[in-house]
Amino acid sequence: MSARRPGIDKADYYRGIRMTPYDLIKEIAIATVGILVVVLILSAVLSSPDVPSATIQAWAKADPVDFVTTAASELSGQSTTAQYGPPYTSGSGSTQSIGPIEPEVWAGVHIPVDAPLDFVLQPLSQATVGDQTLASALNTFNDASAGQQAKWLNAYTNALGSATLVDNEVSVPSGSYGPVPILMSRLLSLARSGGLDALLLTSDHFYQTDYTKPLLFMNDGGYFVGLAQAQDLTGSQWGMMNETGRYPGQAWLWLYTLWYQIPPFNTASNGDLLVVVVMTILSLGLLLVPFIPGVRDIPRWIPVHKLIWREHYRSMTK
């Protein structure tokens, strides 16, 4: 006869406890049907959120100046994505570390993104068919030295500060920009036609399910962030918990997003890493509650259980 551990030998474990009849399958059935009814009613009455995706096309149409400003920053390698660091680029514009601990840098570049090439030059080179002006502008730019390219781009970027829309084209005060205005103008047309959304996605091959490039490009501009702000989705607005429209969001992320609202997390450049570390520690704490003195004793000290088992305690005193 093998030894039985307490807890497995239930007759022994429940000695002194009154047993009552119980229908497990019926309980499961009632719960399953009950939840279905609630879910069907909510679905029929409230539906679910579905705000359509933003596109580069919509962006280029709605805010051409912002689009061109972003495109110029990609071409000059000054955009957030261009300077991000691993996993996209070398550099460290957006990498996070805690003292000497920098897992992001250690992991290295595994999703290579070449901002000037991927976001501007490559799509444009695919759009030169029948467009001799664009073809020669591209040649001029590519043949110029890095120093010359930087000079054109710096001048153009500064000029964009006072850009206006003339005949739906982005117009800047005259200056020495080389072929850059032509490149930007063609990229804007490409974007407005929807072609840039497609080229950024499928530039390598026919089938594609990886939206890294179009998403990073869109995120470098002001238009997309503006859309999120209008829906209270940004991080400083407890965004992680929120949903578009009047729908409940991910309420279970309340503690995760709470840290982003308070110092030092809300201003630290490594705020994300700090929050990840804090939440990892707290999650481990939750996992190990049965072993943490104090935390595991709170249920004894604050006797909510006296409500749960009040009938049982009453019968014990009899």
Partner 1 sequence: MSEASGLGSSREVPRPAGPAPGTSRTDSPGVDDRGWTAAVRRRLDGRLPLEEVLPTRQPAFVGSWVYVFGVVTIAALVWVLVSGCVLAFMGSAWWHTSSLGHFFNSIHFWSVQMFFIFMVLHLWGQYWGAGWRDGRAKTWMVGVVLFLISIVTAFTGYLIQQNFDSQWIALNAKDAVNSTGLGGIFNVLNFGQMYGIHVMLFPIALTLLVVLHIVQVRSRGVVRPIGDPYVPDSGESVSTGGPR
Partner 2 sequence: MNGPAPYLHWGFILISLPNLILIAVMVLLFVVALIAPFPHNRAKHRDDDDE
**Which residues between 20 and 39 bind partner 2 (CB under 8 A)?**
20-21
Measure CA of the first residue to CA of the last residue in the chain; give whole Å. Answer: 38
What residues numbered 259-318 form the site for partner 2, per CB under 8 A?
261-262, 304, 307-308, 311
- 85 lies in the site for partner 2, by CB under 8 A: no
Q: Candidates 31, 34, 37, 49: give the one binding partner 2 (CB under 8 A).
A: 49
Helix (H, G, I), strand (E, B), or coil: what is residue 288? coil
C-beta of 6: minimal distance to partner 1 in Å?
6
Q: Are 220 and 79 in contact (CB under 8 A)?
A: yes
Q: CA distances (Å), 16 to each of 97, 204, 306, in order? A: 58, 72, 19
Residue 292 to residue 288: CA distance in whole angstroms: 7
- 237 lies in the site for partner 2, by CB under 8 A: yes
Residue with smaller CB distance to partner 2, 94 or 231: 231
Query: Six-digit token pair at 31?
Result: 């719960």
What residues numbered 92-121 form the site for partner 2, per CB under 8 A?
none
For residue 304, how many other CB atoms are within 10 A of its CB?
8
What residues numbered 241-260 form the site for partner 2, per CB under 8 A?
241-249, 251
- 184 lies in the site for partner 2, by CB under 8 A: no
For the chain, the C-alpha Rg in angstroms (whole number) is 30
- At residue 235's C-alpha, the angle toward residues 92 and 238, to 5°, is 155
C-beta of 257: minimal distance to partner 2 in Å?
10
C-beta of 120: minimal distance to partner 1 in Å?
19
Q: Which does 53 bind (CB under 5 to 8 A by kind): partner 1, partner 2, none?
A: partner 1
Tell me the residue length of the chain. 318
Residue with smaller CB distance to partner 2, 107 or 255: 255
Q: Candidates 146, 230, 284, 302: give the one binding partner 2 (CB under 8 A).
A: 230
Residue 1 to residue 313: CA distance in whole angstroms: 36
Please give the torsion angle defined by the CA atoms of residues 263, 99, 82 and 231, in that order, rounded to the nearest 10 degrees.
Answer: -20
Q: Which does 26 bind (CB under 5 to 8 A by kind): partner 1, partner 2, none?
A: none
Binding site for partner 2 (CB under 8 A): 18-21, 46-47, 49, 51, 230-232, 237-238, 241-249, 251, 261-262, 304, 307-308, 311
